[in-house]
Structure 1
Amino acid sequence: MRRPVRKAIFPVGGLGTRFLPATKAMPKEMLPVVDKPLIQYAVEEAKAAGIEEFIFVTGRGKAAIENHFDREYELEAVLKNRGKLKELDDLSSLLLEAGSVTYTRQQEPLGLGHAVWCARNLIGDEPFAVLLADDLVQSETACLKQMVDSYQDTGGHLVAVMDVPKDQTNRYGILDVIEDNGSLARARALVEKPQPEDAPSTLSIIGRYILDPSVFHELDKKERGAGGEIQLTDALSATLDQVTFHGLRFEGTRFDCGSKAGFLEATIAFALEREDLGGKMRNIIKKYA
């Protein structure tokens, strides 16, 4: 039996410049899809996968994230006095178990690898998950739960992957695959944002990872990669002589909420799924399409 995946890192220190001016005073992770912020979807996914410890790597101006997952007694009292019990239950569901949440600062925006490295002392020597709130996955079974189940067979590093158009490989980390059964692919290498003519495949990583702690040894070197940042994919590549690396084609639809078009698409898709909004959203789409 492999060691369970109990801890998850949420890198939330980014500036969200693509959504300015909306993100000038509000963290991009707090942008709402229908009526829940992106970071709440990510935390709920982690909870559904059995995660017990939640580690947020924050930066300046991210206090709203901390407040979102904390008690707000005045608001709770108002809701109770007005008999808004459903809304009160919704707030209660946000709360994570006392002592299960940790916040640590990433003082400089040096890349995803650096953000993960900032949580090294909180992870210790055990496998852990990384969830990027920008990637929102709509699925019957939580994407990370699918990965945790698969990890019991694979061990090592496991990432969520999807096939992308050949001309878009320069936007993603791409796997160099040696075995592929249609669901699970084993890779010998990773290439960060290769040009289409240099891409070893079209199988790209999305923002879901289960990682072996050996990656911290490579992140400790703080070597810069693409864009002058400390790339997580580079550190993973450097460990592939020590641990296996697999990509799981998850069941579900991924929305790139780091882009405006992807964010709007996610809002429409999640609204259509709601019993209380689906019919109204279809009428709105017919009106403007």
Structure 2
Amino acid sequence: MKVKKAVIPAAGLGKRFYPLTRSQPKEMLPIVDKPVIHYVVEEAAKSGLDEILIIVGKGKDAIINYFDKTNTYADLEKDYKIDDFPNIYFIRQKEQLGLADAIRYAKGFVGDDPFVVLLGDTIYKSSSPLTVTQQLIKVYSDHNSPTIAVEEVPKDKIKDYGIIDGNKISNRLWLINNLVEKPQIQNAPSNIGITGAYILESDIFGYIDKIKMGINNEYQLTDALKLLCKDRDLLGYKFEGKRYDIGTKELWIKTFLEFSKGSGYI
């Protein structure tokens, strides 16, 4: 079955950016001349996805306004050089209870179809002819198994990531046996971390319904995937490219400067 839908969770409060994010969503922070969420939607659009659901929360109206068809669709189509720009829908997460809870809101949108999850504060640059999302879709299609993007994580950053325990089955591919959310380094099963791009199927909602609140008193997608991988194959793919996390002020500034150099501004 072809992957044609994307879910973009963008409902987090952005507390690490306070007070800036009291007035605008972190997903609308600029990277040179475009907001972060623009790059995320661009990744989905260039990957051939037809429909996008963006999950927003309190104070996120700027995201909805940015993609208002009457204002920006023509410009977006021109920027992306895509004739049939994906349909974009929005739904509001009532409480910020974690990534798994946000994805739960996509159940009606997804139906029985496989879907991509792209985090609203993470940008990918591919070093392959395929986008990072297309790379994941290819792995999913080849193996008929849910697939998540992974990368090697520096030891001092392991505590900030979901970390996989798995068997390496090829140069870039792992069969995942277990996942641990934000472990201390001494308890980490590896240094291979989850980066924020996933190809999932509708059975994930059943696993989300089974989990309890975890780290940070939130429903963690890692905990749902931990249950899933006990019942079926779950793959981790080390993508060709680079990931830019906009989760902290320091990372945002670093990304802004790097993209500025690439654009010829500095």
Common fold: TM-score over 0.5: yes
Alpha-carbon offset, residue 250 of structure 1: 0.9
Separation of aligned partners in 2, 1:98 and 1:136: 19
Cα 1:99–1:272 shift into 2, 3 Å:
closer
1:207 corresponds, among 183, 196, 202, to 196
Letter in 2 for 1:242: D
Please tell me whether residue 42 in structure 1 is matched to residue 1 in structure 2: no
Matched length: 263
**Is 1:139 matched up with 2:126?**
yes
CA 1:24–1:182 in structure 2 vs 1: closer, same or farther (change >3 Å)? same
Which amino acid in the other structure matches residue 104 of structure 1? Answer: I
Q: What secondary structure sits across from 2:48 in the alignment?
A: coil
Mapped pair 1:229 → 2:214? no
Structure 1 residue 184, shift from structure 2 partner: 1.0
Give the counterpart letter for 1:271 in structure 2. S
Map 1:1-289 to 2 at 5 A.
3-72=1-70, 89=75, 92-93=78-79, 100-140=87-127, 141-221=130-210, 223-274=212-263, 277=264, 280-281=265-266
Distance change in 2, residues 1:142/1:99 (3 Å) = closer
Q: Contact 2:49 / 2:86 at 8 angstroms: preserved in 1?
A: no
RMSD across aligned C-alpha pairs, in angstroms?
Answer: 2.2
1:96 deviates by 9.4
2:118 partner amino acid: L
Q: 1:171 to 1:99 in 2, by over 3 A?
A: closer
Q: Deviations over 1:222-261 (max 9, x none)?
A: 5211122111010111111332111111111212211112
SS for the counterpart of 2:230 is coil
Aligned partner letter, 1:9: V
Q: Could you tell me the TM-score, scaled by structure 1's length?
A: 0.84
Give structure 1 stretches of 5+ with no counterpart.
77-87, 282-289
The alpha-carbon deviation at position 99 of structure 1 amounts to 8.2
Greater radius of gyration (CA): 1
What is the deviation of 1:155? 2.2
> For 1:27-61, what per-residue CA distance to the aligned partner results, in whole angstroms no more than 9, with x for missing partners?
11111100111111000101111111100111121
| 8 A Cα contact 1:129 1:209, kept in partner | yes
Q: 1:105 to 1:96 in 2, by over 3 A?
A: farther
* Alpha-carbon offset, residue 119 of structure 1: 1.0
Give structure 2 stretches of 5+ with no counterpart.
Answer: none
In 2, Cα distance between the equivalents of 1:147 and 1:266? 23
Deviations 1:147-182 (A, max 9, x none): 112221122221111101223221111110122422
Please say if residues 10 and 56 of structure 1, whose CA atoms lie closer than 8 Å, have aligned partners that are also in contact: yes
Q: TM-score, normalising length from structure 2?
A: 0.91
Give the Å deviation of 1:98: 8.1
Report if aligned partners of 1:255, 1:265 keep a CA contact under 8 Å in 2.
Answer: no
Mapped partners of 2:205, 2:83: distance in 1: 27
Instruction: Spell out structure 1 runs of 4+ moving beyond 3 A.
Output: 88-99
Are the structure 2 counterparts of residues 52 and 211 from structure 1 closer, same or farther at C-alpha, using a change threshold of 3 Å? Answer: same
Per the alignment, do residues 126 and 242 of structure 1 end up closer, same or farther by CA in structure 2, a change over 3 Å counting?
farther
1:83 is aligned to none
Change (3 A) 1:71 1:128: closer
Residue 9 of structure 1: how far off its partner (Å): 0.7
Q: Residue type of the partner of 1:58?
A: V
Q: Which moved more, 1:110-119 or 1:224-233?
A: 224-233
Q: CA deviation at 1:92?
A: 5.0
- 1:286 counterpart residue number: none
Worse-superposed segment, 51-60 or 215-224: 215-224
